[in-house]
Every structure is written in C-alpha cells, then in structure tokens.
Structure 1
Amino acid sequence: MTAKGNAQGDMLLEVADTWQKGEPWDIVLRLSFYSLDAEVGMIRFGSEADRAFA
C-alpha cells in the first residue's frame, strides 16, 4: 500500500507503526488531536462566516 501524497494514509501508516511498538495511548492522543483539530477548524470557520453575514 502506498500512501504518498495522501495525508490521511500517512497518518494511518504512522498509527499502525505506533501500534506495533505497543504505544496505544499515543494512538488515542493522536486520533483525538486530529479529530479535535478538524472540529475546531469547522467551528472557527463557521463562526467567522456567521460574523461576516451578521
């Protein structure tokens, strides 16, 4: 499987590598960070759009 040029694929490969090293807590933190970052980005974009049209 090649994941070049695919950020999500790279993240999954990194997670799989971390899992093999036996650091599941790192995976949980990493996935939480990615999803939180995405949610915060959406919320920030949404509130800026709301302010622009208010």
Structure 2
Amino acid sequence: MKDTNNLSDKIEKLRKEISETIENNLHNITIDEIIDKSNELNRLIVEYHKQAYKTKP
C-alpha cells in the first residue's frame, strides 16, 4: 500500500505541475514539453495500477 500512496502523491504532484505550467506559460511551452510530461504522467498511472491491482499469491 505504501508504494501506491507514493505513486499517488507523485501523480498528483505531476498533474499539478502540468496544469500550472500550461496555465502560467501557455505561450512559451512547446508541444514536446507537454507530450513529455504527459508521457511521464501516463507511466506513473500505469505503474500505480500495476501496484494497486496486482494479484496476491
């Protein structure tokens, strides 16, 4: 459960960072930067689901 809490915190932090970056720097941010952050967020979400829903032996 600790791993999922840590991942959840990272996901929320990254979501906030992405939102703030877009909100504050919309005219200066590149599409590549948005894609990179989005890909990082997606990787964290996938890892979260793997940890949260892994089957116990």
TM score, norm. by length of structure 2:
0.53
Structure 1 moving runs of 4+ over 4 Å: none
What is the root-mean-square deviation in Å for CA atoms of aligned residues?
2.4
Please name the residue that 2:48 is paired with.
41
Following the alignment from structure 2 to structure 1, what is the Cα–Cα distance between the partners of residues 53 and 34?
28
Please name the residue that 2:5 is paired with.
none
Identity across matched positions, percent: 2
Q: Deviations over 1:1-54 (max 9, x none)?
A: xxxxx844443121344542142101001011112211111112222xx12xx3
Following the alignment from structure 2 to structure 1, what is the Cα–Cα distance between the partners of residues 24 and 40?
18
Please name the residue that 2:8 is paired with.
none
TM score, norm. by length of structure 1:
0.55
Aligned pair count?
45
Structure 2, unaligned stretches of length 5 or more? Answer: 1-11
Structure 1, unaligned stretches of length 5 or more? Answer: 1-5
1:21 and 2:28 matched: yes
Higher Cα Rg: structure 1 or 2? 1
1:31 and 2:38 matched: yes
